[in-house]
């Protein structure tokens, strides 16, 4: 029997995967995130907001691609400015950027395995993990097809596969449903719900209906600020307000919220 080391007795989970306090982030010279305070734990969190609201800048910051300008940020218990902590933190992150680069001659399998390797997964675990996630996103029959031969929706599914290959504790998806057909979108929501049972998933999207169907809570950003956080049902409730325009209660709730925020500011 071996002795248990002290570090094995340390708690391994943090109640908040994302903790930010008055977070400010620049995009070029522009202050795109203007003081955002947020605590998010496990679940599927939908991030809505108009063009230019700062969603992508926030996602890039949470993915440790860009650094905060001011304020506090902790990810999975690690301070974002802790340089030594970044490497182990990145092994536990999954990120689908809005516009992701790839080598067009890679196959789906090469691409997913390559990203698994970049996240320092044990080499022996990579082929099996890649195969599992390729199946989960419904690309098993295209696993050995070159990326350049895929449709836009299939390419995005390959992007989602690489984002979840390391079974991340924090998954950041920037507009993952762009180009997905309705059947794929429904399957994708199911996948999100499964992952959100144990992990923190933040999904940026313009599709209010995806948020209502798949998310445990909704965040709305406008002009670099968080202007709403609540349950999808709370957003739908706001749709009763006469300010709301849109084809569904949730869309009306979203537009009413933005109008009220802008008229108050
Ligand atoms: N590299 C940059 N240089 C200057 N300004 C930038 C840069 N990147 C983003 N911005 C500006 O920062 C603001 C926030 O942009 P961001 O891409 O984060 O918004 P978004 O909510 O993701 O928008 P969208 O829904 O259009 O993707 C916008 O006004 C944008 O013009």
263: pLDDT strictly greater than 90: no
What pLDDT sits at residue 12? 54
CA of 17 to the centre of ligand 1 (A): 24
262: pLDDT strictly greater than 90: no
Mutate to test the pocket of ligand 1, among 25, 26, 53, 100 (most ligand atoms within 8 A of CB): 53
* Reported pTM: 0.92
Average pLDDT over every residue of 108-131: 96
Identify whether the C-beta of residue 118 lies closer than 8 Å to the C-beta of residue 112: no
Mutate to test the pocket of ligand 1, among 57, 208, 220 (most ligand atoms within 8 A of CB): 57
What pLDDT sits at residue 200? 97
What is the ipTM metric for this complex? 0.92
225: pLDDT strictly greater than 60: yes
How far apart, in whole angstroms, are the C-alpha atoms of residue 105 and residue 32? 35
Identify whether the C-beta of residue 101 lies closer than 8 Å to the C-beta of residue 158: no
Q: Which residues contact 12 (CB under 8 A, 6 or more apart)?
A: none
**Ligand 1 atom closest to Cα of 50?**
25
pLDDT, one tens digit per residue, over 52-101 is 999 999 999 999 999 999 999 999 999 999 989 999 999 999 999 988 88
Alpha-carbon distances, residue 104 vs 107, 145, 146 (angstroms)? 8, 10, 7
CB 28 less than 6 A from any atom of ligand 1: yes
Mean pLDDT over all residues of the chain? 91
Average pLDDT over every residue of 38-43: 96
């Amino acid at each position: 029997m071996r002795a248990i080391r002290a570090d094995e007795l340390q708690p391994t989970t943090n109640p908040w995967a994302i903790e930010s306090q008055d977070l400010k982030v620049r995009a070029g010279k522009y202050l795109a995130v203007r003081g955002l305070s947020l605590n998010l734990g496990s679940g599927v969190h939908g991030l809505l907001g108009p063009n230019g609201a700062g969603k992508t800048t926030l996602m890039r910051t949470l993915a440790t691609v860009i650094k905060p300008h001011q304020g506090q940020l902790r990810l999975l218990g690690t301070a974002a400015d802790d340089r030594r902590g970044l490497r182990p933190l990145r092994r536990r992150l999954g990120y689908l950027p809005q516009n992701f680069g790839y080598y067009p001659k890679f196959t789906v399998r090469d691409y997913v395995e390559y990203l698994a390797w970049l996240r320092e997964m044990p080499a022996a675990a990579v082929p099996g993990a890649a195969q599992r996630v390729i199946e989960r996103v419904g690309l098993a029959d295209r696993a050995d097809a070159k990326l350049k031969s895929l449709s836009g929706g299939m390419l995005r599914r390959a992007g989602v596969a690489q984002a979840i290959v390391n079974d991340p504790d924090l998954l950041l998806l920037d507009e993952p449903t762009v180009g997905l057909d309705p059947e794929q979108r429904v399957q994708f929501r199911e996948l999100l719900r499964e992952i959100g049972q144990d992990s923190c998933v933040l999904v940026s999207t313009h599709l209010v209906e995806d948020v209502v169907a798949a998310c445990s809570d909704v965040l709305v950003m406008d002009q670099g600020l968080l202007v709403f956080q609540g349950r999808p049902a709370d957003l739908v409730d706001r749709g009763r307000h006469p300010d709301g325009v849109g084809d569904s209660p949730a869309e009306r709730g979203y537009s009413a919220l933005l109008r009220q925020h802008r008229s108050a500011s």
